[in-house]
Amino acid sequence: MSEMNRDELLKAESVGSEHGWVAPLTYEDREYFAYLRTVFNRYNITPSKATRLEYDFVTRVAESEFYLQQANA
């Protein structure tokens, strides 16, 4: 994970914890969200402008690839 992505995720986590998240993100959660962003970039899809179909597609691709990498590691 790049340093910029890590800083953005830590910033989002601190904002979320101030506004009532039940628990802070785990290391695996942060890694998954960083990977999800790379999948959005790979398919040139902007998350805020994605249709439901695009979002579901990217989410399924990211989940299958991320957990496959975790299992093989």
The reported pTM is: 0.69
Mean pLDDT of 29-52: 94
Residue 50 near residue 36, CB atoms below 8 Å: no
d(CA 28, CA 43): 23
pLDDT tens for 47-63 read: 999 999 999 999 999 99
Count structural domains, the chain.
1
Domain enclosing residue 34, as ranges: 3-72
Handedness of CA 11, 15, 16, 18 (dihedral sign): positive
Triad 58, 41, 52: Cα angle to 5°: 35
Q: Write down how long the chain is.
A: 73
